[in-house]
Amino acid sequence: MEPREAGLDYDEGGASRYSRDYGDEGHYDDQRQTRQRQKWKTARTIVGAFSLVLSLALLGLGVKMSVAYDEVHLIHVSVAFIGFTAATSIAWQTFEFIARCLRRDGRGIYPGAHVGVHICLVLACVATTGYVCFWVSQGEPWKFVEVHGQQTAYSPLYHIGIVVVIITAMLMLVHFILSILACQVIRRKEDHEPSIPVVRVRYDGVGPDGTARPLSYRVTEVISLPPYNGRHDLDDAARRISMARGHVRGADEISSSTNGTASPRTPEKSDRSG
């Protein structure tokens, strides 16, 4: 059976009505999507590398504080906050880079996991910044040192504490940006989910199970096809359905996402006589 006889409507140029109805605007362009995905991946890579550098610097300062100023009161609590935040950030970003290197398509860890982890790291940075600020402001015994027996100046540990606060605040902002980028990736994936065409085939006289029906009795069967990513796949799928069912009188096409909830899209009928 030819496609025209099967009920598909083709114009003089050979394009089906599915191509005319949906066209390039109805389905995202592969090249444009690839470029957009590459831009988001580059942005996440740059920001992730910056967070890794900040985390390494923060971890180095924490080690220096624990080794050189071991006798200072409550310094171990500050080092614990700093070490946990920096080590967790380093570990997560390292896992992300390893996942990208091991996967052939360059995809990293699932974006939903990124959102949760980066939000937790933002909270950890807030806690670290708050405690170190309080610790530095209350460190009167070690905050000042004597210079030449008369003048006083801020001790090196005080300056280290200020640098830790600045780096932790910057790291908090970086992780917040990474969480936003991960949310954008999730939203783009949901917007560009491959559609599943669902064809409702109407039968007159014969039901889907082959039993005889009165001509006035109409039965509707819903047929779900595999996901498609372009208009050519949609044309082929519709052609296969129309050619496979010689007794089809009309078909209404609706589109649904992969979650199975259908939404109508420009119902059209292609009737054929006989």
* CB neighbour burial string for 148-181, b if at least 16 within 10 angstroms, e if fewer: eeeeeeebebbebbeebbebbebbbebbebbbeb
More confident residue, 115 or 12: 115
**Best-predicted range by mean pLDDT among 29-38, 67-76, 183-192?**
67-76
Question: What pTM was computed for the model?
Answer: 0.57
**Which pLDDT score, from 0 to 100, does residue 193 have?**
53
The predicted-structure confidence for 117-164, as pLDDT tens digits, reads as follows 999 999 999 999 999 988 888 766 666 665 555 556 777 888 888 999
| Secondary structure class of 247 (helix, strand, coil) | coil
| Structure-block tokens of residue 259 | 């979650």
CA distances to 76, 109, 137, 161 from 67, in Å: 10, 35, 21, 14
